[in-house]
Structure 1
Amino acid sequence: MTITETGTFATSNGARYLQQLCKHFAHKIPVEYDAEKGTADLPPGPARLTATDAALRVEITASDEDGLKLARHIIDDHLKRFAFREDFSGMDWAPV
């Protein structure tokens, strides 16, 4: 069984953050990305990133709630550092 959630961060810099996240993650895990979409093999499960002119969207998948919690933490923690100019406080996470 897998559980999926989607996080949204309203920003005009979605493509920049997508690329920063993917470049950073690529030092430790398999990652594929371009300017508008990416996939990162996070330890709990894959994260699929999509950037638009208005937002960064991240879909995370894990086998249980603890895995989702870890994946949310990984994404939010990194974005707090990358998006500090925008006072980022966390993705708006919702079940799929």
Structure 2
Amino acid sequence: MIETADVPTAHGAKYMQQLLKHWSHKLETHLDGDAGSVLFDAALARFAAGPAALAVTLEAETAEVLERMKSVLATHLDRFAFREAPLAFDWKVAA
């Protein structure tokens, strides 16, 4: 199961770096310029930072895990983006 969201923010690269650094202590993360990823137990989150949005792609093994991880991502991003939180996530099923 895969869903994507474009999260409107001019600070996507900063937030992505903070997220990956936060999770790198316990999870496998990868950062390459304006793109990054984090591997959870049953999900994979990929990020691509643009000038006006942070693109998020979330892959999960089940619908339940997908919904839980969407909440985890939103909660953590809002924590780092506290000045502009809550950020808008417009989740869409990937084609």
Q: TM-score, normalised by structure 1?
A: 0.90
**Per-residue deviation, residues 39-75 of structure 1 (Å, max 9, x unmatched):** 1002221111110001001100011110101210110
Match of residue 5 from structure 1: 3
Count, aligned residues: 94
Match of residue 51 from structure 1: 49
Task: Give, in whole Å, the separation in 1 of the partners of 2:25 and 2:39.
Answer: 12
Alignment of structure 1 residues 64-75 onto 2, 5 Å:
64-75=62-73
**Per-residue deviation, residues 72-96 of structure 1 (Å, max 9, x unmatched):** 0110010111111012244221110
Unmatched 5+ stretches in structure 1: none
Match of residue 78 from structure 2: 80
Query: Secondary structure at 1:46's aligned position in 2?
Result: strand
Unmatched 5+ stretches in structure 2: none
CA contact (8 A) 2:27 2:38 kept: yes
Match of residue 92 from structure 1: 90
One-letter amino acid of the structure 2 residue matched with residue 13 of structure 1 = H
Structure 1 moving runs of 4+ over 2 Å: none
Alignment of structure 1 residues 10-25 onto 2, 5 Å:
10-25=8-23
The sequence identity of aligned pairs, in percent, is: 36
Query: Secondary structure at 2:16's aligned position in 1?
Result: helix
Report the aligned-residue RMSD: 1.2
CA contact (8 A) 1:37 1:50 kept: yes
Task: Give, in whole Å, the separation in 2 of the partners of 1:10 and 1:89.
Answer: 7
Task: Give, in whole Å, the separation in 1 of the partners of 2:45 and 2:69.
Answer: 8
